[in-house]
Amino acid sequence: MRAKTHRRSKGLNGWLLSLPALVLLLIAASGPLLIVVIYSFLEPGDYSGVRWTFSTDAWFRILFQRDIFDGTVSLADANLSIFWRSVKLSLATTLIAFVLGLPTAWFIATRTPAARAVWLFLITIPFWTNLLIRTFAIMEVIRNQGLMNTALINLGLIETPIQVLYTDTAVLIGMAYVYLPLMVLPLFAAIDRFDFKLIEAGYDLYASRMGVLRRVVLPIIRPGIVAGCILVFVPSLGAYVTPRVLGGGKNMMIGNFIELQFGQGQNWPLGSALSMVLLIVVLAALLIYTRVSSRDDPNG
Amino acid sequence: MKTVLLATTALLAGAFGAAADGQLNLYNWGNYTSPELIEKFTAETGIEVTITDYDSNTTALAKVEAGGSGFDLVVPSANYVPVFVEKGLLAPLDKSRLSNFDNIAADWKDVAWDPNRDYTIPWQWGTTGVAVNTSVYDGDINTSEIFLNPPAELVGKVNVVPEMNDVIALTIFNVGGDACTEDLEVLRKVRDKLMAAKDSWISMDYGTTDKLSSNDLVATVNWNGSTMRARLNNADVAYGYPKEGYPLWMDSVGLLADAQNVDEAYKFLDFIMIPENAALISTFARYANGIAGSDAFMPEEMKTAPEIVIPAEFAAAGRFLPTCPQKATELYTAIWTELRK
């Protein structure tokens, strides 16, 4: 009986002790989010800000557009194409990062401990430089009079520069470069724990090389793959700097589209509603992640 | 002992006051402020100037309106000055503190967007037209068709600066309308023309001076001074005055209502109305200023530049953009938003 009371008071104490953190979390995390939700149900103010009148127009305009002149309503294919481009580019970025990241992580994990430390260190070097600078560096490489085109022209392979800058390809190159380390690190962590004796066992049981990879290696390092994919996919989806610099303001992604609403578009409610949509997509991706990774976890 | 030290410090501070006191935060368009002008101002007054860049009127408005920006002076375009004033973001100028106020050229002294210059003084004015690399396209460039219906050589290579008022105005003039029109028939043509043209553009971005200089861009909607700077680096760049009509504009300096360094700001405003100093502004950014007598201090290349001296045959096509009524702005914003998607 005494022990029970003791435990209960300890639980209460724990609650009280964590109260400051909870309050902080509520104010700092939920507060701003709540403002975004409220703003998405208001009318745009003159030039900027919001007018405090309830309206679902912003949500309506995510999926539908009303013609400026005759008022006919149609599906907002322009918005949808921006969403589709964002999802498409993010998936492609994830795929590229995975294809490049898996052999890289495998290579690092199979070195001696000393060499491993050096390779991991090299992987983290790009993080020392600001993202914007790195993006401009990519721009310097792919622009019409940049490194790539000048080299190709001087080698006589092409006569006029290849237009890569300001295309979806440019955005893709930029994002794959920027987010690759986020794929390599979790993959490395997974491969590092992998018991290589299992591969020998696979071969002993007459599995082909492909069979070992597909049925032994990949299933075991799956949590690392899923974590890496999420770490690349989520920031890609919300990317702002890379498409802004390399996409030339015409090929927008969701992040740029949201920014546009708070700037030149002068429609804060629409910007807020779009932010919520992005948040929902990211949450859905995370939900899938927890489902997929827990299914495999022997403890869960 | 402590008192002595304090007294000494005070004395020292007094003696070197000219070099140590005062700072000023200028919020201006990027690549627009002459470093020479700032050096001279600091040398004469001891006031340290911090410059922060923006790339559009809307950016400047949003940041200033949010409050606590810490900026003292801002340089909005003519059509944004009334917006800043209406929102109470600019402080009325105390002209008794501006001894050089009378240097403002007669044409710019009483302007529609700021009657009697109660809130702003001129920074620079210019035109919006097109810049084309003549080694890529050597046809007629004095037309807005360069970006609204590009010749074959330029398809897929045209940049359009994301400056709503300039681009919409150029297009309205192209289809035969007037600035600030609310005529739906005209605006429908404007939208259709822009939406059709968009496919032949490569980007909607700023930074045109550098990209024209380095041949990364071969055609763009651009401002005259920026084009002149690019031409000085790259002789193939030429400026076209769209004969269908093109906007004239002026950016003016205003004192922010929440400025912390008001005395310093007044000194700066007075300083840039001295013709010699105004000439420094123009020599850097290559736009004309609104100060009488500054021509005498301009370099020879500015006095004859085809980008600065508007050729007689195109002079009549230049039209000053007034501040449009809210209704017109709403329609333009709707078209612009549709375009930027």
Q: Which residues of A touch B162 (CB under 8 A)?
A: 249, 264
Task: Tell me the nearest-neighbour CA distance from A157 into chain B, angstroms.
Answer: 20
Q: What is the pLDDT of residue B2?
A: 43
> Sorting pLDDT into bands at 50, 70 and 90, what band is A7?
low
More confident residue, A291 or A147: A147
Distance from the Cα of A68 to chain B's closest Cα (Å) equals 7
- Flag whether pLDDT at B8 surpasses 70: no
Q: Could you read off the pLDDT of B205-219 as tens digits, one per residue?
A: 988 999 999 998 999
In CATH terms, the fold of domain B126-248+309-340 is: D-Maltodextrin-Binding Protein; domain 2 (3.40.190)
Parse chain B into domains and list their residue ranges. Answer: 2-124+249-303, 126-248+309-340
Mean pLDDT for B122-139 is: 96
Of B57-66, B154-163, B237-246, least confident by mean pLDDT is B57-66
Let me know if residue A267 belongs to a domain: yes
Residues A7 and A134 in one domain: no
Within a domain: A230? yes
For the residues A116-134, what does the mean pLDDT come to? 91
Residue of higher predicted confidence among A132 and A260: A132
Residue to test with chain A: of B58, B80, B136, B233, most A Cβ within 10 A: B58
Q: For residue A34, name the pLDDT band (cuts at 50, 70, 90).
A: very high
Residues A42-93: pLDDT tens digits? 998 877 778 899 999 899 988 888 887 877 888 888 788 889 999 999 999 9
The burial of B319, by beta-carbon neighbours within 10 Å (0-12 exposed, 13-18 middle, 19 or more buried), is given as middle
Fold match, B2-124+249-303 / B126-248+309-340: yes
Residue A288 belongs to domain with CATH number = 1.10.3720.10
Question: Are A165 and A139 within 8 A, CB to CB?
Answer: yes
Range B107-135 average pLDDT: 94
> Is A66 inside any structural domain?
no
Least confident interval from A40-49, B137-146, B193-202: A40-49
- If asked whether residues A198 and A109 sit together in one domain, one would say yes
CA distance A261 to A106: 43
Given a cut of 80, whether residue A263 has pLDDT beyond it is no
Residues A136 and A255 reside in one and the same domain: yes
* Mean pLDDT for the stretch of residues B234-241: 96
CA nearest neighbour of B228 among B180, B286, B177, B309: B286
How confident is the model at residue B73, as a pLDDT? Answer: 97
* Same domain flag for A221 and A86: yes
Residues 6+ apart with CB under 8 A from A259: A240, A244, A271
Is B311 buried (19+), middle (13-18) or exposed (0-12) by CB count in 10 A? exposed
pLDDT of residue B101: 95
Closest in B62, B198, B203 to A263, CB measured: B62
Confidence at residue A80, expressed as pLDDT on a 0 to 100 scale: 87
Report pLDDT digits (tens) over A267-276.
889 999 999 9
Element (H, E) at B280: helix B275-285
- Residue B337: list chain A partners with CB under 8 A: 260, 264-265, 267
**Whole-number percent of chain A with pLDDT over 70:** 93
> Are A2 and A82 within one domain?
no
Would the CB atoms of B341 and A262 count as touching at under 8 Å?
no
A112 touches chain B (CB under 8 A): no
Residue A54 resides in a domain:
no
Which pLDDT score, from 0 to 100, does residue A10 have? 63
ipTM over 0.85: no
Q: How far apart are CA B74 and CA B256, in angstroms?
A: 7
The reply to whether A153 and A273 lie within a common domain is: yes
| CB-based contact A249 B338, cutoff 8 Å | no
Residue B188 Cα distances to A2, A64, A264, B42, angstroms: 81, 19, 20, 51
* Overall number of domains in chain A: 2
pLDDT at A161: 86
Answer yes or no: is A48 within a domain: no
- A73-75/A64-66 β-pairing: antiparallel
**What percent of chain A is predicted at pLDDT more than 90?**
50
Residue range A156-169: mean pLDDT, rounded: 89
Largest CA distance in chain B: 82
Tell whether A57 is covered by a domain: no
> Which chain B residues are closer than 8 Å to A266 by Cβ?
58, 333
CB contact under 8 A, B338 and A264: no
**Rounded distance between C-alpha atoms, residue B304 and residue B276, angstroms:** 19
Are A48 and B58 an interchain contact pair (Cβ–Cβ within 8 Å)? yes
Q: Are A256 and A244 in contact (CB under 8 A)?
A: yes
- Give me the residues paired with residue B111 across strands: B114
Write down the pLDDT at residue B184: 93
Judged against a pLDDT cut of 90, whether residue B242 lies above it is answered with: yes
Q: Tell which residue, A85, A32, A20, A104, has the closest CA to residue A239.
A: A85
Reported CATH class of domain B2-124+249-303: alpha beta
Q: Is A45 on the interface with B (CB under 8 A)?
A: no
Distance CA A94, CA A101 (A): 10
Q: Please give the pLDDT value at position B336.
A: 86
Task: Show residues of chain A in contact with B197, CB under 8 Å.
Answer: none
Residue whose entry in the numeric block shows the structure tokens 């606590």: B68
Question: Does residue B3 surpass a pLDDT of 50?
Answer: no
Domain assignment of residue A40, yes or no: no
Per-window interface: A 80-99 vs B, CB < 8 A: 81-82
The answer to the question of residue A41 being in a domain is no
Q: What is the per-residue pLDDT for A296?
A: 54
**Is the pLDDT at A298 greater than 60, yes or no?**
no
> Of the candidates B128, B127, B132, B129, which has an alpha carbon nearest to the alpha carbon of residue B237?
B132
Q: Which domain holds residue A227?
A: 77-296
> Would you say residue A293 has pLDDT above 60?
yes
pLDDT tens digit string along A239-257?
999 999 998 888 789 999 8
pLDDT at B321: 84
Would you state the pLDDT for residue A6? 53
Dump strand ranges (E) for B83-211.
Answer: 120-133, 158-159, 201-203
Backbone region of residue A106 per phi and psi (left: phi > 0; alpha: psi in -120 to 50; beta: other values): alpha
CA distance B174 to B171: 5
Question: Does the pLDDT of residue B193 top 80, yes or no?
Answer: yes
Does B337 contact A267 at a Cβ distance shorter than 8 Å? yes
Which residues contact residue B47 at a Cβ distance below 8 angstroms, ignoring those fewer than 6 apart? B21, B22, B23, B24, B41, B261, B264, B267, B268
pLDDT tens digit sequence for A135-153? 999 999 999 888 999 999 9
pLDDT at B16 exceeding the cut of 70: no
pLDDT attached to residue B9: 44
